[in-house]
Structure 1
Amino acid sequence: MATSNQKILSRAKSIRLLLLDVDGVLTDGRLYFGNNGEELKAFNIQDGLGIRLLQRSGIEVGIITGRSSALVARRAEELGIKLVIQGREDKLAALEEVLRDDKENHSYKMQEIAFLGDDLPDLAVISRVGLGVAVADAHNFVAKHSHWQTSEKGGCGAVRELAELILQAQNTLDSILLDYL
């Protein structure tokens, strides 16, 4: 995960809110459907711990996704993610609503927000937030217009990689890791 790019670390140092897409970011992007119409998704457990580490450090994590799924709501609840917006193709409009309707009074500024995405619907948010990130297997155009790209693919540890980058930039990663000894 190591990055020596000071511009990226500087951007990451200011992050107070990490927003995530789901399909292709929290999952590998494949959709599984059973014979009875049920939908299945696989989530990476290390990504989940990365989310918990961010939350433990006072960084809020949220989800903005174009699809709607009970599985996403369940996973978000398991991880204590309260900010969950599903079924919104226009993710920038969803983000602007979050900022306008901030009921918990966090008053986030765009430069304090990171977004991790993988495909074209994520690009408007990626290009406007303080730290716009693409997963390793993101669409080339998205990767080209992101501030940084993970070395891990979506659903395979990309969220954890970004979480550790943010924690490293904020000088909290080492103490968090040492707590596990």
Structure 2
Amino acid sequence: MRDDAVARAAAVRLMIFDVDGILTDGSLHYGPAGEVIKTFNVLDGHGIKLLQQSGVATAIISARKSEIVARRAADLGIRHVHQGVHDKRVAFEQLLAETGTAADDCGFVGDDVIDLPILMRVKFAASVPNAHPEVKSRVHYVTAAGGGRGAARELCDFILRAQGSYDAAIAPYLE
């Protein structure tokens, strides 16, 4: 973790997630009809919900297109979903325009070199332990948990703590 990671996370108003390798473990399961399974972590999902409830908007930008991702995003209330975008810069610019958000108000978590154009523009860049070395060397925060194994939850909790809203986010569960 870089020294300025907490301050950078405190500035996040829109957190953007890659899918494969971040919200999933990166495995692709194919059957005779094509892609049939993606596995998501419930802790990650709840972390995203807590982030949203604290006022941080969420979005997905993924190079792959999957109905499974669209369903998961709908389940989590993620309104901004850009899939099947191989030049993620284009989707990022569209997202900024859609939301009226500046790059300095965004965080992004990705794991491969295709994610670098966004990771290098946002205020808070994060990744996972098994990310490509070029990515890990350029981000502000690398999670301890792996993609699809609690990384998104860890990241959401980190942002909530940096913004001073973690205690309020979990308070309803402590009563």
Which residue number corresponds to residue 117 of structure 1?
A: 110
* Structural RMSD (CA): 1.3
Which one of 12, 32, 38 corresponds to residue 15 of structure 1? 12
Number of aligned residue pairs: 174
Moved over 6 A (4+): none
Q: CA deviation at 1:39?
A: 2.0
Which residue number corresponds to residue 31 of structure 2?
A: 34
Which residue number corresponds to residue 91 of structure 2?
A: 94
Residues in 2 aligned to 1:168 and 1:79: alpha-carbon distance in whole angstroms: 21
Structure 2 alignment gaps of length 5 or more: none
Which one of 163, 169, 172 corresponds to residue 170 of structure 1? 163
Which residue number corresponds to residue 149 of structure 1?
A: 142
The DSSP-based 3-state class of the residue aligned with 2:60 is strand
Residues in 2 aligned to 1:158 and 1:82: alpha-carbon distance in whole angstroms: 21
CA contact (8 A) 2:21 2:148 kept: yes
Residues in 1 aligned to 2:106 and 2:153: alpha-carbon distance in whole angstroms: 17
Give, as a single letter, the amino acid of the residue that structure 2 aligns with 1:130: K
Give, as a single letter, the amino acid of the residue that structure 2 aligns with 1:155: G
CA contact (8 A) 1:11 1:111 kept: no
The DSSP-based 3-state class of the residue aligned with 2:55 is coil
TM-score after normalising by structure 1? 0.92
TM-score after normalising by structure 2? 0.95
The DSSP-based 3-state class of the residue aligned with 1:15 is coil
- 1:123-150 superposed Cα distances (whole Å, 9 cap, x missing partner): 1101110001111111111000111111
Q: CA deviation at 1:6?
A: 5.1
Which residue number corresponds to residue 60 of structure 1?
A: 57
Residues in 2 aligned to 1:151 and 1:91: alpha-carbon distance in whole angstroms: 25
Residues in 1 aligned to 2:34 and 2:6: alpha-carbon distance in whole angstroms: 44
Residues in 2 aligned to 1:107 and 1:33: alpha-carbon distance in whole angstroms: 38
